[in-house]
Structure 1
Amino acid sequence: VGEALELVRLTGYERRLPRQLSGGEQQRVALARALVFRPRVLLMDEPLGALDKKLRAHMQLELKRIQRHLHVTVIYVTHDQEEALTMSDRVAVMRGGRTEQVGTPAELYESPVSPFVADFVGESNFLDGVVVATSPDGRAVVRAEGGLELHGVSREPLQVGQRAVAAVRPEKIVPQEPPASELNRCKGVVDQVVYAGDATRYSVALGAAGTLTVKVQNRLASRQVATGDLVELAWDAGDTRLFARAPDEG
């Protein structure tokens, strides 16, 4: 028992009552009780869900420290995508009781295998269109509403004339003052600006093609963009994931 308490940094708390412990300390006690038995596999089902954001972030690091110290396999169940990326060496995304994708956090975020994974893990913009060009290396061009052409990459072969959807992360898109060199370029009108401390989020209306969410890290030298401004957006083709639309998908 003493070793388990030392591991979760609660030495000296042996005689405290539950009401005398903070939320984070109570979580550590629960973990210590499980670790006393020296399990080979530890299942954690939403263990930090009741904690506030800062305490949850601290406990995530504590759990990773303990896991590495004990070399125990942890199966961690969570609906918090950020927590899944932070905590895991490998992540399994489930959909309807089936595994949609298994991989490292970077693989799931940067190379999702489906629109579901792209939407579930992190945040993505989706633009629907029709495939107008393909190449043997997996690259293709999708033409969205209004004639906007989107260059991207696909894991599965696409056919010209096939309905498809293009996905791009908000932070991959950059507002440009001079003409952009990236393959994917478009112009739109800023209809919403949200300052979030470390970054600013813009909602940019593209007309018939839809709306893009853009996330830009705040820097002193960053260009100030206001609601109603006409902006040119650019992003790399390698950051655009293309997926075939199933016949029954809207």
Structure 2
Amino acid sequence: MTPPPKQKKAWFGKSLIYVGLIALTIACIIPFLMMIINATRSNEEVLSGFSLIPGNSLAENYAALSSYVNIWSGFKNSLIIAVLVTVLSGYFSAMTAFGFAFYQFKGKNVLFVFMLVMMMIPGQLGLIGFYELSKNLGLLDSFIPLIVPAIASPFTVFFVRQYLQTVMHPSLIEAARMDGASEMRIFHTIALPMMMPAIATMSIFTFIGSWNNYIMPLVLLFSPEKYTLPVLMGFLKGSQVAENLGSLYLGIAISVVPIMIAFLFLSKYIVSSISAGAVKE
């Protein structure tokens, strides 16, 4: 028995969509695959052209890379900064968003508009002033100016506030207050779990932005043992390591792996936490 024409048309449309998605997936995976493969090849093999066969020069490439920079020290520094910025920014941005969404106070609208304006101003414009401020406070060559200012994220606050207003009804807060719950308990036990999908979404961008931050660590850090991974990778451009493309690919691969892990982990967390925002009227 042959299927009806409508079912044939639907099946053809779905097949076309799946083929397109598979093609896009392959196109996205190939650059990462080539990066990993080239990290195992020698300079001559990389220059010889495209290949999907791994080489045997991984140890030599790692030795050449380690002879010039302490890649794992930069990895550790970047990880410390990125994790602290992501966690602190997510928590305090959620608290700020909760206040903007459900509390009434004087100057609320003015502060919210000011926050929206700050979203449109590039951070590089205040780099000189921020450097002078850090210098006067004695915070140069430390991680503090790289972590504390990044906690205040206007875009994260805006995104979480908009999300919270769609998933959380004010009556839920009123019911918790009538049961005797304090404001902090309401935030931690009711609002925060419901905001987790939005926080996880923004945490991906926060972590990637902090991990890839190059200008601020370059300006504020002076000690080589405190350099972040992007700064160390920038130093490789004019070094002898730049003559060994395999070593460069290896350094890039090491710097990209945490971003891929964070994205995969938080993506799963988003999917598993969608039900946390369900509210029954």
Task: Please indicate, yes or no, whether the TM-score normalized by the shorter chain is above 0.5.
Answer: no
Higher CA-based Rg: 2
Select the structure that is richer in helix. 2
Structure of higher RCO (CA pairs closer than 8 Å, 6+ residues apart): 2
TM category (shorter chain) comes to: under 0.3
TM normalised by structure 1 equals 0.20
